[in-house]
Amino acid sequence: MSSSPKKRNADGRIPNGSTGSGSVMATFSKAFVAEADWNDKDEFLDVIYWMRQIIGVILGLIWGLFPLKGLLGLVIFFAINCGMIYLYYGSFQKVDDEEYGGPTEILKEGLMTSFSTFLVTWIILYSSLYSDL
């Protein structure tokens, strides 16, 4: 995912041919369509990135609500996170991973950011529910 803001041409269009907020909705709706046409590689990787963030928050909430702790929680997080992304791009979108640099490039897109989101959510919720202050 590119973290720099997209530059617009004089006519207000982003160079890949899309316009501002309409492209976000188009990308969002395309993410739920099986075997969608991903003309822009960054657009697909953005979907993967944000899916991971959502997965990280949801799993952090679940792990925090149920007093799960330790290495087991971390291993299960990585298994679920990578497994869901693999199923999404391999089975639902049927994307040729070689166009993106192989399966490892797709699987590591946003993984560490998602992991940190997961940890923050898990730690805050677990600490607030189960600490003896």
Q: Which domain holds residue 90?
A: 40-130
Q: Looking at residue 65, what is its pLDDT?
A: 94
CA–chain centroid gap for 38, Å, is 16
What pLDDT does 3 receive?
47
Residue 29 domain-assigned? Answer: no
Let me know if residue 45 belongs to a domain: yes
Residue 23 lies in a domain: no
For the whole model, what pTM was predicted? 0.77
pLDDT given at position 133 = 61
The answer to the question of residue 69 being in a domain is yes
In a domain, 15, yes or no: no
Mean pLDDT by 10 residues, the chain (133 residues): 47 47 74 85 90 96 91 95 93 88 89 96 93 73
Within a domain: 19: no
Q: What is the pLDDT of residue 69?
A: 84
Distance CA 59, CA 70 (A): 14
Token pair of 47, please? 């979907």
Number of domains in the chain: 1
Q: What angle do CA 66, 67, 69 make, to 5 degrees?
A: 125
6: in domain: no
Six token digits for residue 107? 């699987």
Per-residue pLDDT, 18: 47
Domain assignment present for residue 52? The answer is yes
